[in-house]
A and B are shown apart, each in its own frame.
Chain A
């Protein structure tokens, strides 16, 4: 009798496990189906005119406007102005391996949004990845404060708008020579929303008690490029930019 009873119990358990997993899978499929479709390769609209030089058509022409995040007319306080002046002064003799956060969200570097119910990953051609957790978690506790170039991001969906909260970002100008010199106390709040089939609009509000006298609001938009069907990553294996005095020059080709 016992073997028969055990077999029934085993069968019943298997049925319960199967039902639970089936339900979980259905829930996840539904969760995926509720998310917006942001497939494709996107470029910030303000960087879409980047030409074969790596710079926009307006390069060298007077009257060019500074980018929003490094505009001296922004709400910088005295410390922010001091840092910004230092950033501009040192820019010509520095080079970088990418954009870092927050500038990667307003740059010509193509990027991709990989959206799952639990996480959205924003990755660009410089292998810079932002992990935005959308599984109801919060930032780690303050004692686990971990400062990085891309910070710690959590988010949630408000209908079709991705709302991101980012903290613990290292002074961005340390990674990229033309980045805003915000402090590690800065708080970044982003709202990303698709407003047309090939357009995602971004509003980022930056609050930094160390460098800003008021919140800095940056508005940007991403445009889906029809010219790229994949992100191709590669190392900087042919870096020929070498310092010659205060600026760079082009080193001879490697033979």
Chain B
């Protein structure tokens, strides 16, 4: 591999989503957030989980967690009703590099410990 490409190829991985590159996320970091679903957006070009998470002071903070477009989720067994407002879940995610309250969803676990398909099902 030619050197000038090496770093970018690492970010790029072997795939990029159709919409944008993953460079906006810190893929070396994995954080688990536990909270309550405010809204599950089953939308294009990305789906989002709006998750209410309590910070260190006990104050509820809203996180915007990006997922694949609905078709990719459906191919991983998800449906528009997979998550419901008020549902307690844990999300494994790579955070935004700019430090905002957002990230890329890698796995979702329900309060009773059930993995909800996709990357999470593969043990990530």
Across the two chains, which residue of chain A brings its CB closest to B69? Answer: A54
Q: Are the C-beta atoms of A248 and B2 separated by less than 8 Å?
A: no
Q: Are the C-beta atoms of B118 and A52 separated by less than 8 Å?
A: yes
Q: Are the C-beta atoms of B43 and A249 separated by less than 8 Å?
A: no
Partner of B74 from the list A59, A64, A99, A228 (CB cut-off 8 Å) is A228
Q: Are the C-beta atoms of B21 and A92 separated by less than 8 Å?
A: yes
Interface status of B88 (Cβ within 8 A of chain A): no
Across the two chains, which residue of chain A brings its CB closest to B100? Answer: A249
Interface status of B124 (Cβ within 8 A of chain A): yes
Give the interface size class of chain B: 35 or more
Given A227-B76, A241-B19, A51-B122 contact (CB < 8 Å): yes
Q: Are the C-beta atoms of A250 and B100 separated by less than 8 Å?
A: yes
Interface secondary structure of A, over-half rule: loop
Q: How many residues of A contact B (CB 8 A)?
A: 66
Cβ contacts under 8 Å, B43 to chain A: 234, 237-238
Q: Are the C-beta atoms of A236 and B45 separated by less than 8 Å?
A: yes
In chain B, positions 71-110 with a C-beta closer than 8 Å to chain A are 71-78, 94, 96-98, 100, 102, 104-108
Among A2-10, A104-112, A183-191, A211-219, the one that faces the other chain is A104-112
Q: How far is the CA of A235 from the CA of B100 in the complex (A)?
A: 27
In chain A, positions 13-68 with a C-beta closer than 8 Å to chain B are 43, 46-47, 49-62, 64-67
